[in-house]
Structure formats: structure tokens, C-alpha cells
Amino acid sequence: MVASNKNELVRRISKLAKQNRELEEKLKKLLKQNERLLRENEELKESAGTLKATVDSEKSGRSLRFNMVTVLFANMHGFSKLVEDMDSTSVMDELDEVLIEFDAIVAKYKIEKIKTIGDTFMCAGGIPD
């Protein structure tokens, strides 16, 4: 009977140790996720601050001025001719694919996307945070 109780106790301790390891792994994953979310939150706060300044200046009718800014207007030359025989859904899909790539490039080099109008993409670099 004593051996049976010892075996039961060892089994319970082993089970608790396993649960503890699993919980430690979950904790590590949650801490990493928390760090990632905190970084994303900070980036979003910075973006929101820039956006708010832009919106506030537009509301007040004032223009923002920067000393060294590059503005890019990227137009897909011949796009209308290329897609004239396509249905509207296919055209939108093609345009989305191109704009998704532009968005990735803009994000990679920390360039500010200003506006997309039809097949023209406008962005600016050198705008302070």
C-alpha cells in the first residue's frame, strides 16, 4: 500500500512537472507575442501622430512644408490599353496586385504613401516622423 501511494505521488509529480513545462512554453510564446504587439502599437502610435498632424494642418487650411522631400507619382503607362479587353473584376485584381507590391516597397523603405488614384500611385520620402 505504501509503494502504491509512492507510485501515485511520483505519477502526480511527473504530471505536474510536464504541465509546468507546457505552461512555461506557453508563457514564452505569449511574452514574445506581447513584445511584438507592443512594437506594433508603438509604430501605430507614431503613424497616428503623423496622420493627425497632417489632418490637423489640412483642417486648418495650412500646408505642411519640408525642406528635403521627394514626391513620386507612379503611373502605369499603357495600363488602360492593356486592360481594355478585360472585365472589371480582372482589372481590379491586376491593379490590386501591382498596388500591393508598391505598398510593400513603400513600407520597406519607410516612404509615406499619400494617395492612390486609379492607376496612379503617389508617395513621398524624406518626411520627418
> How large is the average pLDDT for residues 88-101?
85
By residue count, the chain amounts to 129
Distance between CA atoms of residues 67 and 70, nearest Å? 10
Domain ranges of the chain: 1-62, 66-129
What global pTM score does this model have? 0.44
Residue 36, all three cell numbers: 511584438
pLDDT above 90: residue 22: yes
User: Residue 5's pLDDT is what?
Assistant: 83
Tell me, what amino acid is at 129?
D
CA distance 73 to 114: 10
Residue-wise pLDDT tens digits, 40-89: 888 877 777 777 766 666 666 666 777 888 888 888 888 778 778 888 88
pLDDT at 26 over 90: yes
66-129 classified as CATH 3.30.70.1230:
yes
Q: How buried is 113 (Cβ within 10 angstroms: 0-12 exposed, 13-18 middle, 19+ buried)? A: middle
